[in-house]
A and B are shown apart, each in its own frame.
Chain A
Amino acid sequence: MYTMGIDVGSASSKAVILRDGKEVVAGLAVQAGTGSSGPGRVLEEIAATSGLDLKDMAFILATGYGRTALPMADKQMSEITCHAKGVFFQDPSVRTIIDIGGQDVKAIALDDRGGIRQFYMNDKCAAGTGRFLEVMARVLEVPLEEMAEYHFRSKNPAQVSSTCTVFAESEVISLLSRGTAKEDIIAGVHFSVAAKACALAQRVGVRREVVLCGGAAKNGGVADAIEKELGAPLVVAQNPQLTGALGAALLAYEEMMRKERSA
């Protein structure tokens, strides 16, 4: 039996196909989110990669900000539950999840059965999110995928203290105009993201293992800054951008099992 999880966020669209609730057949991300060509493209690409069609799916479960705009989905669930499910499936020793997505940053505390004990998310503000990193990358004229490289070259991270993306942008511009090295500014940006994420994690209570997921987890500089800020080891999830879609595919499988039991 195949099930699909689709996670359409503000900045990217992700999909995972699962066989019998255990084996990942295919999983990929397209860097375009809800309201764009992203959802359509991710479905086309996953069909091409897996050789499977939507009609082969016993159940499709959608999550992310764009979850309600996907007519092919059988059910929608929140990304909090989906990330918890996906990360716990990969690593049952996880007790704290930090997820940094396009417009959300969240910390989720799990119990030893993978149940959600508590979660906190950012308020109505882009500070500490993937979008914040994108804005900074643009101002600094450094591609997002090269941010980590700069980060690890930094000897003296700059202070980026503003909690507002717009104010932080002007702070970065003024650091640039003062001649501060780009690697130090980038490290400062990463520490600023880390501070926001860690505040949420500390609120739910940091218990090991702590796993980082979401698109920003692909940036090793962010992971390094969070680890230092937390003062505890941090595990980066496998395919960190796909954990929400993976959780959705797992929950889709559980839906089918529940249906079969009640049939």
Chain B
Amino acid sequence: MSEKSVQEMTAKELLAYYQAKLDEEARQAKANGKLVCWSASVAPPEMCVAMDIAMVYPETHAAGIGARKGAMDMLEVADRMGYSVDCCSYGRVNMGYMELLKEEAMTGKTPEALANSPAARVPLPDLVITCNNICNTLLKWYENLAAELNIPCIVIDVPFNHTMPVSEHAKEYIADEFRNAISQLEVICGRPFDYEKFHQVRRQTQRSIEQWNRIASMSRYKPSPLNGFDLFNYMALVVCARSRDYAEITFRKFADELEEKYKKGESAFKGAEQNRIAWEGIAVWPYLGHTFKTLKNQGTIMTGSAYPNMWDLTYDAEDESLHSMAEAYTRTYINTCLDNKVAVLRRIMEEGQCDGVLYHLNRSCKLMSFLNVETAERIQEKNGLPYVSFDGDQTDPRNFAPAQYDTRVQALGEMMEQAADGGQA
């Protein structure tokens, strides 16, 4: 694919192109003896990218497998390994995938479940990097990967923010964690850290995030040119390529397209949007189409979600103390106190002019599910918007029932209609 044709691509084409390119680059890196790192989705990639390490993101990879209906094959491998259905399904899909890659590497034969999988082919890692700023399961999951593969595991430890704003000593601690990771990388790579490249990568990350935030801000328009489910799709690049220009190019194109759409008076919906909701929680990847269409069929558009907003990692790239970067990587809303979480969600609902909220009680994500009950009550107390919750799972299709989802979503639609009619049932 020539550079010229990249310039002619639509945002959707760019998304597919760069996703495939990232996977290919990781495979090439492996083939050429360069290092490959598997990384947690909100762990900082800046240090690894500065050291020219190819990055692979198991959460995004698992989500893709789920969306392509390939999760069950991986989950069955994880079942056989002994992982309970109560463990995170991203983790289980990834452990299953890793096991199959390992079997292939050890025997020279590709296991059938891997050969037939719709999963994008990614290579085994030479190191892993994880961070506890969005969940604690990521620590144990990555420790397991490192133990199974006998490879180094870099952990960026981030304290939980009981109070906001983030304290100076927390920022200093996290900046030290970054510096410690740099020292580990020097040992793993066997060469001095490239501080100049690190600076450039931080600048690039900020250019990508700026464009990402441009996209997210489009839902403030009414009718909205942005369908919130698109953020779930484009999220792949803010996770996997925010420190590369791939994300910046794609997001700029998409934001331009949305602005163009808005100027022409076009909305994300072909018909008129009846009401707007916030979606709290991770997508149900194996049923992404179903969850979207059920809402669409009743004229509901999703215009707010804090989940893609986790990658609003805006910081000062010129700050050599790394305090600003440290703050960005610790203020993710689920790593902060309930008051702040509620404030973040309320702001997202206000900006998206939402009429109701749909909470995903995600069996995989105990952290988000635990917080939803109190969060929902507090938010309703403040803004009075109706809400419902449904049981589901990010990648285990066995934990989601479409009919139950449909009933709850329809009831939410009826409650929003009731509120618009002045409260009469």
Are A80 and B418 neighbours in the complex by a CB distance under 8 Å? no
A84 contacts which chain B residues (CB < 8 A)? 425
Residue pair A121, B408 in contact (C-beta under 8 Å) = yes
In chain A, positions 112-170 with a C-beta closer than 8 Å to chain B are 113-116, 118-119, 121, 123-124
B407 at the A interface (CB under 8 A) = yes
With an 8 A cutoff between CB atoms, is B414 at the interface?
A: yes
Structural contact, B407 and A65, CB atoms closer than 8 A = yes
Interface residues of A in 82-130 (CB under 8 A from B): 84-85, 88, 104, 110-111, 113-116, 118-119, 121, 123-124
Check B423 against A78 for contact (C-beta < 8 Å): no
14 A-B pairs within 8 Å (CB atoms) are namely A65-B403, A76-B410, A78-B408, A81-B411, A81-B414, A81-B425, A85-B425, A88-B425, A113-B424, A115-B423, A116-B415, A116-B418, A123-B391, A124-B391
- Within the complex, the shortest CB–CB distance from A247 to chain B, in Å, comes to 9
Instruction: Report the interface size class on chain A.
Output: 20 to 34
CB distance from A253 to the nearest CB of B (A): 14
User: How many whole Å from B287's CB to the nearest CB in chain A?
Assistant: 13
Contacts of B411 in A (CB 8 A): 78, 80-81, 116, 119
Q: How far apart are A104's CB and chain B's nearest CB, in angstroms?
A: 8
Query: Whose C-beta in chain A lies nearest to the C-beta of B407?
Result: A78
CB distance from A116 to the nearest CB of B (A): 6
Residues of chain B contacted by A123 (CB below 8 angstroms): 361, 391
Complex contacts, B399 vs chain A, CB 8 Å: 124
Verify if B404 is at the interface (C-beta below 8 Å from A): yes
Q: Does A184 contact B (CB under 8 A)?
A: no
Contacting residues, chain B, for A114 (C-beta < 8 A): 424-425
Query: With the chains together, A89 CA to B398 CA distance in Å?
Result: 39
B59 vs chain A, min Cβ distance (A): 23
- Interchain residue pairs A-B with the least CB separation, the first 8: A78-B411, A78-B410, A80-B411, A115-B425, A124-B391, A114-B425, A81-B414, A123-B391
CA distance A40 to B388 in the complex (A): 32
- Residue A77 at the B interface, CB < 8 A? yes
Q: Is B401 an interface residue (CB 8 A)?
A: yes
A79 on the B face (CB < 8 A): yes
Enumerate chain A residues within 8 angstroms of B408, measured Cβ to Cβ.
78, 121
**Contact across chains for B425 and A77 when beta carbons are under 8 A apart:** no
Task: Identify A115's interface contact among B361, B388, B418, CB under 8 A.
Answer: B418
Contacts of A81 in B (CB 8 A): 411, 414, 425
Distance between A174 CB and nearest chain B CB, rounded to angstroms? 25
Shortest Cβ gap from A223 to chain B (Å): 24
Using known A-B contacts A65-B403, A124-B399, determine if residue A77 contacts B423 with beta carbons closer than 8 Å. Answer: no
B383-425 contacts to A (CB < 8 Å): 386, 388, 391, 399-401, 403-404, 406-408, 410-411, 414-415, 418, 423-425
Closest A residue, CB atoms, query B387: A118
Please, how many angstroms separate the alpha-carbon atoms of A78 and B399 in the complex?
22
Tell me if B425 and A124 are in contact (CB < 8 A): no
Chain A residues close to B by CB (< 8 Å) = 65, 68, 76-81, 84-85, 88, 104, 110-111, 113-116, 118-119, 121, 123-124
> Hey, which chain A residues are within 8 Å of B400, CB to CB?
124
Q: What's the least CB distance linking A77 to chain B, in Å?
A: 6
- Docked Cα-Cα span, A115 to B407, in Å, equals 17
CB nearest neighbor in A for B417: A81
Assess A77 versus B410: contact at CB under 8 Å? Given A113-B423, A124-B399.
Answer: yes
CB neighbours of A85 from chain B (8 A): 425
Q: Which of A65, A79, A104, A116 contacts B425 (CB 8 A)?
A: A116
Bound Cα distance from A79 to B404, whole angstroms: 11
* Cβ B407 vs Cβ A79 within 8 A: yes
Residues of A within 8 Å of B401, CB to CB, are 124
CA distance A121 to B359 in the complex (A): 13
A115 lies within 8 A of B424 (CB): yes
Most-contacted residue by chain A among B400, B404, B406, B411 (CB, 10 A): B411
Residues from chain A with Cβ under 8 Å of B418 in the complex? 115-116
Please indicate the chain A residues that have their CB under 8 angstroms from the CB of B404 in the complex: 121, 124
Give CA–CA (A113, B411) in the complex, Å.
17
**Are A77 and B414 CB-contacts (below 8 A) given A113-B425, A115-B423, A124-B399?**
yes
CA distance A18 to B414 in the complex (A): 22
Q: Which residues does chain A contribute within 8 Å of B415, judged by CB atoms?
A: 116
Q: Whole-angstrom distance from the CB of A252 to the nearest CB of chain B?
A: 14
* Chain B residues with CB under 8 A of A113: 423-425
Q: How far is the CB of A83 from chain B (nearest CB, A)?
A: 10
B77 shortest CB reach to chain A, Å: 24
Q: How far apart sit A106 and B403, CA to CA, in the bound complex (Å)?
A: 15
Chain A residues with Cβ below 8 Å from B410 are 76-78
Q: Which residue of B lies closest to A203 (CB)?
A: B373
CB distance from B115 to the nearest CB of A (A): 33
Write the nearest CB–CB distance from A220 to chain B, whole angstroms: 28
Among residues of A, the one whose C-beta sits closest to the C-beta of B398 is A124
Chain A residues lying within 8 Å of B361, measured Cβ to Cβ, are 123
Chain B residue with Cβ nearest A88: B425
**B403 / chain A contacts, CB cutoff of 8 Å:** 65
User: Min CB distance, B27 to chain A, in Å?
Assistant: 39
CA distance A123 to B369 in the complex (A): 13
Q: Which residues of B contact A80 (CB under 8 A)?
A: 407, 411, 414
Chain B residue nearest in CB terms to A124: B391
Minimum CB–CB distance for A110 against chain B, Å: 7
Q: Could you say which residues of chain A place their CB within 8 Å of the CB of B407?
A: 65, 78-80, 104, 121
User: What's the nearest-Cβ distance from chain B to residue A49, in Å?
Assistant: 28
Residue of A79, A81, A88, A104 with highest tally of chain B CB at under 10 A: A81
Chain A residue nearest to B363 in the complex (CB): A124
How distant is B71 from chain A, measured CB to nearest CB, in Å?
17
How far apart are the CA atoms of A1 and B332 in the complex, in Å?
A: 57
| Chain B nearest CB, measured from A130 CB (Å) | 15
What residue of chain A has the Cβ atom nearest to residue B389's Cβ? Answer: A120
